[in-house]
């Protein structure tokens, strides 16, 4: 009984110093419910309350940081494992990958415009690199028949040279091939995330004299759809 009284006195003393329950429980070995009962009438000064608030915020931030680091580590582990499953693509696999890319992002021929050539637009440098490899190696397109145009928001005019160098390096093509710019009106309010120094606009790739190639690609797309096992209506 005397021990309990001493423990209660110690708990009250520590609480009046502004200690948190978790800090007190490292020195006073009782159930948290018991501690709560002992301390329910112990008031804290404004300074002590501020200390506890700061401590809770610090603990919360530390916990959030730990969870974030765990998510980053887990994400890397999953991505690395998935990446290693792919292996080196065969030429046929590259053909199908490129065709699917064009299906999603390329310009297709329409009934009102059956003479549309090959055009492809994207802002992701990885997709651009894969498409260029596909159009050169699978479609046998000469480098001299490939034209580029940059679509860029007009509030990035001061960054034009930086953007041109970026796409020149991405495509391994001379910077002289990036003089064609289409300026896009900049909206005052926008929900776009790709802003700031990581924004390099959108790159349009056009292949000269490629009407028949586009028709052939359309046939590949229809072949994928026909043979992938979906129900056609």
pLDDT of residue 182: 96
Q: How many Å apart are CA 117 and CA 30, to the nearest integer?
A: 79
pLDDT digits (tens, 9 = 90+) for 141-190: 999 999 999 999 999 999 999 999 999 999 999 999 999 999 998 765 55
Tokens of 8: 């209660």
Region of poorest pLDDT, from 12-16, 25-29, 70-74, 194-198? 194-198
Collapsing DSSP to helix, strand or coil, 188 comes out as coil
What ranges make up the beta strands (E) of 110-201?
119-122, 146-153, 181-184
Higher pLDDT, 223 or 230: 223
Strands 146-153 and 202-207, sheet pairing: antiparallel
Collapsing DSSP to helix, strand or coil, 220 comes out as helix
> Is the Cα dihedral 147, 152, 156, 157 positive or negative?
positive
Residue 198 CA neighbour count, 13 Å, CB half: 5
Asked whether 141 and 213 are in contact (CB, 8 A), the reply is: yes
Quick one: what percent of the chain has pLDDT higher than 90? 58
Tokens of 82: 């998935």
pLDDT digits (tens, 9 = 90+) for 119-149: 999 999 999 999 999 999 999 999 999 999 9
Q: What is the mean pLDDT of the chain?
A: 88
**Complete edge-to-edge strand list for the sheet that includes strand 181-184:** 119-122, 202-207, 146-153, 181-184
pLDDT band of 51, cuts 50, 70, 90: confident
What ranges make up the beta strands (E) of 173-230?
181-184, 202-207
pLDDT of residue 12: 78
pLDDT of residue 1: 54
pLDDT of residue 91: 95
Q: How many Å apart are CA 32 and CA 214, to the nearest integer?
A: 73
pLDDT digits (tens, 9 = 90+) for 94-125: 999 999 999 999 999 887 777 899 999 999 99
Which residues, at least 6 apart from 132, have a Cβ–Cβ distance to it below 8 Å?
A: 146, 171, 205
Domain ranges of the chain: 92-227
Distance in Å from the first CA to the final CA of the chain: 83
């Amino acid at each position: 009984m005397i021990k309990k009284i001493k423990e209660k006195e110690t708990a009250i003393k520590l609480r009046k110093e502004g200690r948190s329950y978790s800090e007190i429980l490292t020195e006073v070995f009782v159930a948290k419910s018991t501690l709560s009962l002992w301390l329910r009438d112990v008031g804290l000064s404004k300074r002590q309350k501020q200390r506890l608030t700061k401590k809770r915020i610090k603990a919360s931030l530390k916990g959030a940081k730990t969870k974030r680091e765990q998510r980053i580590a887990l994400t890397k582990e999953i991505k690395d494992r998935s990446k290693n499953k792919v292996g080196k693509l065969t030429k046929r696999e590259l053909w199908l990958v490129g065709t699917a890319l064009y299906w999603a992002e390329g310009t297709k021929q329409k009934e009102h415009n059956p003479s549309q050539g090959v055009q492809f637009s994207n802002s992701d440098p990885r997709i651009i690199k894969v498409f260029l490899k596909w159009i050169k190696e699978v479609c046998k397109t000469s480098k001299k028949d490939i034209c580029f145009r940059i679509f860029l928001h007009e509030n990035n005019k001061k960054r034009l040279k930086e953007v041109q160098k970026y796409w020149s390096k991405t495509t391994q093509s001379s910077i002289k091939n990036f003089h064609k710019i289409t300026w896009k009106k900049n909206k005052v309010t926008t929900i776009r995330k790709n802003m700031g120094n990581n924004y390099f606009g959108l790159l349009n790739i056009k292949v000269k004299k490629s009407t028949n190639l586009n028709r052939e690609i359309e046939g590949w797309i229809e072949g994928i759809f026909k043979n992938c096992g979906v129900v056609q209506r």
